[in-house]
């Protein structure tokens, strides 16, 4: 049986799926037709139900939970990995004061409507509704050119913004952790509910085995990971992997599920996402 599988070319995803798609584990009769896309593109494909299995942000999952179920394996959750809300340094006092008002009209550059970063922004500051979607790497320049008042940054920009004279307004990851005591749910692997339950369960089992293989043989997929990471140095690739692939990626467990359930419950209460009528997870 051949299934379509979508994930990003980022090192954390290629690390997770290397063994699965290259026959390093027994796939129990399943074959995979792989598509590589950035997560926001994968989010959009999930909205259209295009893929059997896909990586997506937890924000997007809230909108496709009737069509897809979440695997216990393959997710990215963690502490200290959240998005930052930043501004131009000289504008900090003005912006910080306005941010405390219920009708703030500040313009925010976001890296995508269905990113988890925007999800967390909506939970923390539901009054910030004037948003402009842009490529995540363009947000810093937009701030410097005062095209936007605030920027929501992710990925490597979290480590470089200060060099450009930009200032942190709030660490949304820390906000979430202090509010809930939970890890930040970033992205997960979902399977289309149209597949038989036994196939969904098999996929869950195989993704877990693929992650376990990667941890047991961390250099096994180095060429595959490097090929898709483009210019990234090996040390940076593995730092990226260490940041996003952890015990939650093997199995969500009670703590991982609690983090996801808390995020969805809070976002629903604050009307950031619509109510979800389906059980979130693949049946055990």
Task: Judge whether 244 and 155 are in contact, CB under 8 Å.
Answer: no
* 65 is known to lie in a ligand binding site: no
Task: Judge whether 5 and 54 are in contact, CB under 8 Å.
Answer: yes
Element at 122 (helix H, strand E):
helix 116-124
Query: In whole angstroms, how large is the CA radius of gyration of the chain?
Result: 19
| Of 59, 155, 217, 228, catalytic | 155
* 137 is known to lie in a ligand binding site: no
* 116 is known to lie in a ligand binding site: yes
Q: Which two tokens stand for residue 25?
A: 């584990």
* 120 is known to lie in a ligand binding site: no
* Distance separating alpha carbons of residues 173 and 170, to the nearest angstrom: 9
| 155 is known as an active-site residue | yes
SS3 sequence, 164-208?
HCEEEEEEHHHHHHHHHCCCEEEEEEEEECCCCHHHHHHHHHHHH
* Distance separating alpha carbons of residues 20 and 213, to the nearest angstrom: 9
* 73 is known to lie in a ligand binding site: no
Binding-site positions:
55-57, 116-117
Binding-site residue set for substrate: 55-57, 116-117
Active site residues: 155
């Amino acid at each position: 049986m051949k299934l379509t599988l979508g994930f990003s070319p980022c090192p954390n995803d290629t690390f997770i799926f290397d063994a699965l798609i290259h026959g390093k584990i027994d796939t129990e009769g399943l074959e995979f037709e792989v598509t590589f896309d950035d997560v926001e593109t994968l989010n959009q494909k999930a909205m259209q139900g295009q893929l059997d299995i896909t990586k997506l942000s937890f924000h997007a999952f809230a909108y496709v939970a009737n069509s897809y179920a979440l695997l216990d394996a393959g997710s990215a959750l963690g502490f200290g990995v959240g998005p930052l809300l930043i501004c131009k340094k000289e504008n900090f006092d003005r912006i910080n004061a306005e941010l405390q008002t219920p009708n703030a009209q500040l313009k925010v550059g976001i890296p995508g409507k269905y990113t988890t970063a925007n999800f967390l922004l909506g939970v923390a500051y539901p009054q910030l509704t004037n948003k402009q979607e842009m490529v995540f790497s363009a947000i810093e320049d937009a701030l410097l050119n005062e095209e936007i008042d605030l920027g929501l940054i992710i990925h490597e920009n979290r480590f470089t913004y200060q060099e450009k004279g930009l200032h942190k307004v709030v660490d949304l990851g820390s906000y979430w952790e202090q509010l809930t005591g939970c890890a930040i749910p970033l992205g997960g692997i979902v399977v289309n509910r149209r597949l038989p339950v036994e196939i969904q369960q098999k996929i869950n089992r195989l993704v877990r085995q693929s992650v376990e293989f990667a941890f047991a043989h961390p250099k096994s997929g180095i060429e595959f990971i490097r090929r898709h990471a483009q210019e990234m140095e090996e040390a940076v690739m593995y730092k990226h992997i260490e940041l996003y692939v952890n015990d939650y990626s093997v199995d969500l467990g009670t703590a991982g599920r609690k983090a996801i359930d808390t995020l969805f419950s809070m976002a629903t209460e604050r009307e950031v996402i619509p109510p979800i009528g389906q059980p979130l997870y693949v049946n055990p």
